[in-house]
Amino acid sequence: MPRFKAYFDRLSHLFLPLSVLVILIIINLIKGADYFKITMVNGAFYGNIPNILFGASELVILAIGMTLVTAASRGQDISIGENGAIASAIFVQYVLNAGEVTLWTILAGFLISCAAGLIIGAFNGTLVSFFKVQPMVATLILFLGGRSIAFIIDGKVSPILANEISNRIGTVIPGVPIQTPIILTVVFIALVAVVLKTTNLRLYVEAVGINPSAARLNGIDPKKIIFMTFLIMGVCAAVAGFIAVNKAGRHDSVNLLKFIMMDAILAVAIGGNSLGGGKFSITGSIIGAYTIEVLNRTLLRLEVEPEAIKAFKAVFIIILMVIASPVVRVSVGKVLDKAKTIVAGYSVRKTVGLNKAVLSVTDTSAGKKEE
Amino acid sequence: MESLSTTKPKSRLSNSNLLFIIAGIIFILMYGFALISFPDSFMQFQTFFDLFNFNAALFIITLGMCIVMIAGGIDISVGAVCGLVTMACAMLLESGGNVWGALLLALGIGLAFGLMHGYLIAYLEIQPFIITLAGMFLAQGLLTTLHKDPINVTWSAFVALRNFTIEIPWLGAVNRLGVFIPCEIKPGVFVVVVLVILYAVLMKWSRFGRNVYAVGGNSQSARMLGINVKKTLFFSYVICGLTAGIGGFVFLMTTGAGNIGNGALFEIKAIAANVIGGILLNGGVGNLLGAPIGTLTLLTINELIRAAGVQSNLQAIVSGLMLYLFIVLQSIIMSLRGSRKFRLALPSWLKLHRLQGNGD
C-alpha cells in the first residue's frame, strides 16, 4: 500500500488536468452517447477522438517546448506562432523551388525549417540568457515582426502547397488507419520522452528554474540551459509549423498558428506547472493541450454561439484555476482533515479494543522495517 | 572625500531613475533625429499634439499597466476591456443613454474586471497571466456577443463632445494657401495629463505607491515589513482595470465608433511602451513618468517609419528592430552598472523615507 501511495503522490499533479478532461468527456457524453464512436472512412479512423488528436497536434508540440522554456527561464515565449510561420515559410519556399517533389525534398525542407527554428530560438535565447531580458519582452520583437518576415519570405499572399506527399502528411497515408499528424505528434512526444529519460536535461532545467544562482554555484550554467530551452522551443515551433502548413495545404502568413501562444501557455498552466519556473511536468502539459482542444470542440458541440465561445472559455478557465488555486486547495484540505479526525475519533471511541490491536500490529511491523 | 565638504552626501541614482533617464534621453534623441530628417512634418507642433490626440487611450492604458508591472504582475486584458467599453458605451449612447451614463458604464466595466482580476490574483494566489488571459477572452467574447458590426454614435451631444477641440491661437502653422491654422487639442489629452499627474503623485507620495514598489521588489520582505501584500496587489489590479475603462471611454471619444477591432493589441503595445520607459516586468523598478515617455517613443518610432515611407510589410520588422535595439541598450547599461557593487533596486526617495521612519 505505501508504494501505491507514493506512486499516487508522484502523479498528484496530473489530478487537475485529468479531472477536467473527465468532466468535459462526461458533458460530451450527456450531450450525446455516441461521443466515442469511431468510423472508418477510406481506410482511416474518423470520429470525435481522432479529430481531437488531429486538431491538437501542433498545440501539443508547442506546449512541450513552452513547458521547458517556462520551467527554465521563468517566463513565456509569446512569439511561437510567428516562429512557426517563419520556419514553415522557408519550408514551403524550399519545396516550391525544388522542382520535382519527392520524399527527400520534403525531408530536406523539413530539416532546413528546423534549422531556421534553431536560428530563431538562438535569437530569442541570446536576448533572454545573455542580455538578461525578460522572455516575454524579448520574444515581443519577433511577435511584432515575425509575420512580416514570413510574408517577405513567401513573396505573395498564401502560396499553395499542392503536392501528393504534403497532402498525405497533412491528412492520411493510404494504408495507415491513423491520420499522419497524430503519428508525427506521437513520434515527437516519444523523442522528447527519450531525451528527458536519457539526459540530465530535466534536472538541469528544474535546477535553473528553481534558483539560477544556486544552480550556478553547483556547476550548472543557467545561461546555457536557458539558451538550450529556447533552441528546443525553436525546433518545436518549426515542427508545429510544418504540421500546420501541411494540414492547411497553403502558407497563410497572417493566420497560420495565430494566437496559439495563449493556448500553449494555458496548456502549461492547466497541466499543473507553475508559470514562475521550477519543477515541470511534460505529461501534464500534453494533457492540458488536449484538454483545451476538447474544451473548444465541446463548446462547438454544445452549439454555443460562435461569438460567445471565448466568453464561455474564459468562465471555464477561471472556474478551473479557482479550483486549482493553492488557497482553495489548502482550505479544502483543512476541511477534509477536520472531517477525517472527527470520523476517526468517533470510530476510536466506538471500538477501542480493536483499534488498540491494530495499532500494536502496525507498531511491530514498523519496528521490523526499521531493523 | 567629497562628502566631507558637502552636508548631503551624493547618492547614486536608483535603478528606476537611471532607466527613466535613459528613456527620456532616447526619446529626445529620437525626436531630434525625426526633426532633422523630416522637418516638414515633425517641425509642426500639430504633429506632436496629434501623437496625443489620436493615442490618448493608449497613454491611459499604459499608465494602468505600469502600476501593475511595478507591482510585479501583468494584465493582458486591458486592450480587450478597452474594446468592450467602447462597444458597450456606443450601444448605450445609441439606445438613448446620456454621456454621463456612458461614462459610468465605462468605469463600471473597468472596475468589474479590475475587481475580478484583483481578487483572483491577490487573494486566491492564481498566476496573473492566466487570469488576465481569461479576462481578455471574457471581454472579447462579451464584445462579440454584444454586437458584431461597428456602431457609429450619431447622438448629437456625443458628436459634439467628439468634435470638441481646444485651439491654441498662438501656436500653429500656415498652410499652403497662406491660411493660419491653430493647433488643436482634443479633450482626451486633458484626461491623459490629469491621470499622469494623479498617478505620479499616487506612486511617489502615497503609502499605496510605496507599498507597490516594495511588493514588486520583493513580496516576501514586503510582508516582513508589515505591508499588506494582498491588499496592495488587489488595488493595483483594480486601478489597472479602472484605467482600462477610462481608456475605453477616451477611445470612444476620439473615434466615435464602437468596433470589434478597437483596442486590439493594446496590451502588447502597453507592455512594449512600459519596457521602453524603463519599467521592468520583474517588478519593483520603474518611474511612472516612464510610461508616457515610453509610449511617446513608441509612437514616434511608428511616425518615423511612416514618414520615411517604409513599405507597409516592412514597418512591423523595422519597429521590431527598434525595440530590439532598445532592449539590448537597456540591458547593456544595466549590466555595466551591475558589474560594480549595486545599490538597492528601490527608488531613492523610498529609502530616504525608510531611514526617516527608523529615526522616528
pTM for the model: 0.82
Residue B325: list chain A partners with CB under 8 A. none
Q: Is the pLDDT of residue B112 over 90?
A: yes
Structure confidence at residue A2 (pLDDT): 62
Residue among B124, B318, B327 whose CB faces A327 most closely: B124
What residue of B is the nearest CA neighbor of A314?
B134
Q: Are residues A207 and A356 in the same domain?
A: no
Q: Is the pLDDT of residue A62 over 90?
A: yes
Structure confidence at residue B182 (pLDDT): 77
A330 touches B at CB < 8 Å: no
A127 touches B at CB < 8 Å: yes
Structure confidence at residue A136 (pLDDT): 84
Q: Are residues A319 and A364 in the same domain?
A: no
Residue A120 to chain B, least CA–CA distance (Å): 14
Residue among B133, B141, B316 whose CB faces A308 most closely: B141
Q: Are residues A227 and A363 in the same domain?
A: no
Residues 6+ apart with CB under 8 A from A274: B127
Average pLDDT over residues B119-138: 89
What residue of B is the nearest CA neighbor of A126?
B328
Structure confidence at residue A40 (pLDDT): 81
Residues 6+ apart with CB under 8 A from A269: A275, A288, A321, B127, B129, B130
Structure confidence at residue B295 (pLDDT): 92
Residue B140: list chain A partners with CB under 8 A. 310-311
Average pLDDT over residues A30-43: 80
Q: Which range scores top for mean pLDDT: A35-49, B142-156, B158-172, B335-349?
A: B142-156
Residue A132: list chain B partners with CB under 8 A. 331, 334-335
Tens of pLDDT, residue by residue over A89-131, are 999 999 988 888 888 999 999 999 999 999 999 999 999 998 8
A331 touches B at CB < 8 Å: no
Q: Is the pLDDT of residue B229 over 90?
A: yes
Q: Are residues A260 and A342 in the same domain?
A: no
Q: How confident is the model at residue A348 (pLDDT cuts 50, 70, 90)?
A: low
Structure confidence at residue B11 (pLDDT): 60
Structure confidence at residue A46 (pLDDT): 83
Q: Is the pLDDT of residue B359 over 50?
A: no
Residue among B144, B271, B334 whose CB faces A140 most closely: B271
Separation of alpha carbons B280 and B65, rounded Å: 11
Tens of pLDDT, residue by residue over B52-62, are 888 999 999 99
Residue among A136, A144, A322 whose CB faces B319 most closely: A144
Tens of pLDDT, residue by residue over B311-327, are 777 878 887 887 888 78
Residue A319 has a CB neighbour count (10 Å cut-off) of 12
Q: Are residues A159 and A255 in the same domain?
A: yes
- Cβ distance of A326 and B125 shorter than 8 Å: yes
Task: Give rounded-to-5 percent helix, strand, coil for chain A.
Answer: 75, 5, 20
Domain that residue A361 falls in: 334-370
Class in CATH terms, B14-352: mainly alpha
Residue A17: list chain B partners with CB under 8 A. none
Separation of alpha carbons A63 and A25, rounded Å: 21
Q: Is the pLDDT of residue B355 over 70?
A: no
Among B69, B74, B115, B133, most A C-beta atoms within 10 A, so best to mutate, is B133
Structure confidence at residue B87 (pLDDT): 92
Average pLDDT over residues A220-237: 94
Biggest CA pair distance of chain A: 87
Structure confidence at residue A1 (pLDDT): 55
Average pLDDT over residues A317-336: 83
Q: Are residues A359 and A263 in the same domain?
A: no
Residue among A136, A141, A314 whose CB faces B138 most closely: A314
Q: Are residues A352 and A256 in the same domain?
A: no
- Cβ distance of B133 and A315 shorter than 8 Å: no
More confident residue, B74 or B155: B74
- Cβ distance of A309 and B141 shorter than 8 Å: yes
Q: Are residues A345 and A246 in the same domain?
A: no
As a whole number, the mean pLDDT across chain A is: 85
Domain extents in chain B? 14-352
Residue among B116, B129, B148 whose CB faces A275 most closely: B129
- Return the beta strands (E) in chain A as ranges: 38-41, 44-47
Separation of alpha carbons A127 and A119, rounded Å: 13
Q: Indicate the burial class of B61 (C-beta count within 10 angstroms; 0-12, 13-18, 19 or more).
A: buried
- Cβ distance of B124 and A322 shorter than 8 Å: yes
CATH number at residue A96: 1.10.3470
- Cβ distance of B133 and A134 shorter than 8 Å: no
Q: Is the pLDDT of residue B31 over 80?
A: yes
A304 touches B at CB < 8 Å: no
* Residue A329 included in any domain: no
Q: Is the pLDDT of residue B2 over 50?
A: no
- Cβ distance of B125 and A133 shorter than 8 Å: no
What residue of B is the nearest CA neighbor of A134?
B281
Average pLDDT over residues B136-143: 92
Structure confidence at residue B206 (pLDDT): 93
Grid coordinates belonging to B349:
526617495
Q: Indicate the burial class of B309 (C-beta count within 10 angstroms; 0-12, 13-18, 19 or more).
A: exposed
How far the first Cα of chain A sits from its last, in Å, is 20
Residue among B125, B268, B320 whose CB faces A142 most closely: B320
Q: Are residues A248 and A99 in the same domain?
A: yes
Residue among A141, A311, A328 whose CB faces B138 most closely: A311
Residue A134: list chain B partners with CB under 8 A. 280-282
Average pLDDT over residues B18-44: 84
Q: Is the pLDDT of residue B225 over 80?
A: yes
Q: In chain A, how many domains are there?
A: 2
What residue of A is the nearest CA neighbor of B312?
A148
Q: Is the pLDDT of residue B341 over 70?
A: no
What residue of B is the nearest CA neighbor of A265?
B130
Tens of pLDDT, residue by residue over B184-224, are 888 889 999 999 999 999 998 999 999 999 999 888 899 99
Q: What are phi and psi of A45, to 5 degrees?
A: -80, 135
Q: How many CB pairs under 8 A join A and B?
A: 137
Q: Are residues A271 and A169 in the same domain?
A: yes
Residue A212: list chain B partners with CB under 8 A. none
Q: What letter would DSSP give residue B14?
A: P
Separation of alpha carbons B29 and A353, rounded Å: 87
Residue among B142, B280, B317 whose CB faces A149 most closely: B317
Grid coordinates belonging to A19:
479531472
Separation of alpha carbons B56 and B190, rounded Å: 9
Separation of alpha carbons A85 and A80, rounded Å: 9
Q: Are residues A135 and A93 in the same domain?
A: yes
As a whole number, the mean pLDDT across chain B is: 83
Q: Are residues A45 and A175 in the same domain?
A: yes
Q: Decide if the complex's ipTM is over 0.95.
A: no
Residue B161 to chain A, least CA–CA distance (Å): 31
Structure confidence at residue B348 (pLDDT): 54
What residue of B is the nearest CA neighbor of A268?
B130
Q: Is the pLDDT of residue B1 over 50?
A: no
Q: Is the pLDDT of residue A353 over 70?
A: no
Q: Is the pLDDT of residue A191 over 50?
A: yes
